[in-house]
Amino acid sequence: MAHEPAHSDTAAAPAVGAHLSGEQHHHPGWSTYWKVATILTLITVVEVWAYYIPSFVASRAFVPLLLTMSAIKFATVVMFYMHLKYDHKLFRALFTGPLFVAAVTLIALLFLFGQLAARFGPGR
Amino acid sequence: MSAPAAHHYTTTGLDSRKIAIWAFIGSECMLFVSLISTYLIYKGRSIVGPFPHEEWISPTGEHFHPILNIPVTSASTFVLLMSSLAMVLALAAVQNKNVPKRTTSERILGSSKLWLWMTAILGMTFLGFQAFEFTSFVHEGLTIRTNLFGSSFFTLTGFHGAHVTAGVIWLLTLLAIDYHRGLGPADALNVDIAALYWHFVDVVWIAIFTLVYLIK
């Protein structure tokens, strides 16, 4: 269902965006939104499918693979649906700055409370 | 008051409302990461069950199954992902309100009411799934006071559900405005701000689904 009319939002949005937020930004078209939804659905299906394979769940690759797929979904929504890929760099900084601080704090807390020590600590 | 007069541009040339929503989303990242951290720190430290992924037999001999229902949560995750698609189509429809629609598919894609309704209904469906999940957990013996898992799980997913509820109310107010006077390109920033909030709620769930439900 890829609808990309000649007057899609790729043509109309820049004028709207420029008028309303004082900057030029280019939003993707409807077909891009449908493609992104398909990719998100497929990744979710793979995640759930992997969950039901006991030998894979028991392997060391399971958690890193799930985290990678989740990160791809996260980044895809942020870049294409939240338009951070196309928006002003200040918005990117306002989002990624706190996210980075939060992620570092999360990892530090997990080490501090021993949740990651079992996986990455001495003897592994 | 005309739409441009209502805007507050900063020295950056950017609208202050859009800067504010991104700053708010940044602070919300901190909130949800703190809740996720709490869940992960307490993970596997509950003394009594029920447990998320493991069976448990109580001292009285009562048998408890793993409590997380992955098929139901997978369906609710799909619903929330599709609501993000509907939201971004609603924003595109508002931005292109004045563009002539020649074909039926263009008229469907250009209907802001349709996509706002779709987003709100999908959001409410997600909340229905969450209400079902919480109710079944309580019936199976897991409450917010049962163990560390119950406390951290209900706090994390409850906060997320409250955010989804706020998002649905926000969408319904946009729909009321759309029915009252119609949403057009001059309202695109207002819809964009609501959309950013909605997508943020979606990305938080993407993280929760993996970290809480799928990783054992």
- For residue B187, give the DSSP letter: G
Contact state of B95 with A27 under an 8 Å Cβ cutoff: yes
According to the model, what pLDDT value does residue A24 have?
44
Out of A19-23, A50-54, B32-36, least confident range: A19-23
- For residue B16, give the DSSP letter: H
Rounded Cα gap, residues B189 and B185, in angstroms: 8
Q: Which residues are within 8 A (CB) of B118 and not within 5 positions of it... i.e. 6 or more apart?
A: B83, B86, B89, B90
A13: pLDDT strictly greater than 80: no
Under the banding of pLDDT at 50, 70 and 90, the label for residue A99 is very high
Mutation pick from B18, B32, B107 vs chain A, by most beta carbons of A within 10 Å, is: B18
The complex scores an ipTM of 0.89
According to the model, what pLDDT value does residue A119 have?
65
The pTM score is: 0.88
Residue type, B172: L
| Extended strands (E) in B2-101 | 56-57, 63-64
Residue type, B75: A
What average pLDDT score do residues A10-38 get? 62
According to the model, what pLDDT value does residue B6 have?
57
CB B87 within 8 A of CB B199: yes
Contact state of A101 with B30 under an 8 Å Cβ cutoff: yes
Chain A CB contacts of B53 under 8 Å are none
The count of other CB atoms within 10 Å of the CB of residue A108 is 12
**What is the three-state SS of B94-127?**
HHCCCCCCCCHHHHHHCCHHHHHHHHHHHHHHHH
The count of other CB atoms within 10 Å of the CB of residue A26 is 14
Under the banding of pLDDT at 50, 70 and 90, the label for residue A30 is confident
A9: pLDDT strictly greater than 80: no
Token pair, residue A55, equals 């030998």
CB B187 within 8 A of CB B94: yes
A23: pLDDT strictly greater than 50: no
Q: Is B85 on the interface with A (CB under 8 A)?
A: yes
Rounded Cα gap, residues B150 and B162, in angstroms: 17
Instruction: Classify burial at B126, counting beta carbons within 10 Å of its beta carbon; exposed 0-12, middle 13-18, buried 19 or more.
Output: buried
Q: Is B194 on the interface with A (CB under 8 A)?
A: no
Instruction: Please spell the DSSP secondary structure of A23-92, one letter per residue.
Output: S------HHHHHHHHHHHHHHHHHHHHHHT-HHHHHSTTHHHHHHHHHHHHHHHIIIIIS-TTTS-HHHH
Rounded Cα gap, residues B160 and B204, in angstroms: 8
Radius of gyration of chain B (CA): 21
CB B8 within 8 A of CB B1: no
Mutation pick from A59, A74, A82, A116 vs chain B, by most beta carbons of B within 10 Å, is: A82
According to the model, what pLDDT value does residue B3 have?
46
According to the model, what pLDDT value does residue B2 have?
42
For residue B57, the cross-strand partners are: B63
**Beta-sheet pairing, B63-64 with B56-57:** antiparallel
According to the model, what pLDDT value does residue A122 have?
61
Q: Is B124 on the interface with A (CB under 8 A)?
A: no
Token pair, residue B99, equals 């563009």
Rounded Cα gap, residues A120 and A92, in angstroms: 32
Alpha-carbon gap: A120 to the closest alpha carbon of chain B (Å): 16
Give the DSSP H/E element, type plus range, for residue A1.
Answer: none
The CA angle B113-B114-B116, to the nearest 5 degrees, is 65
CA-nearest of B130, B209, B66 to A50 is B209
CB B185 within 8 A of CB B158: no
Q: Which residues are within 8 A (CB) of B54 and not within 5 positions of it... i.e. 6 or more apart?
A: B66
- How would you write the pLDDT of chain B (216 residues) with one tens digit per residue? 444 445 666 777 888 999 999 999 999 999 999 999 999 999 988 888 788 888 888 888 888 888 999 999 999 999 999 999 999 999 999 999 888 888 888 888 889 999 999 999 999 999 999 999 999 999 998 999 999 999 999 999 999 999 999 999 999 999 999 999 999 999 999 999 999 999 999 999 999 999 999 998
What average pLDDT score do residues A92-110 get? 94
Contact state of A30 with B89 under an 8 Å Cβ cutoff: yes
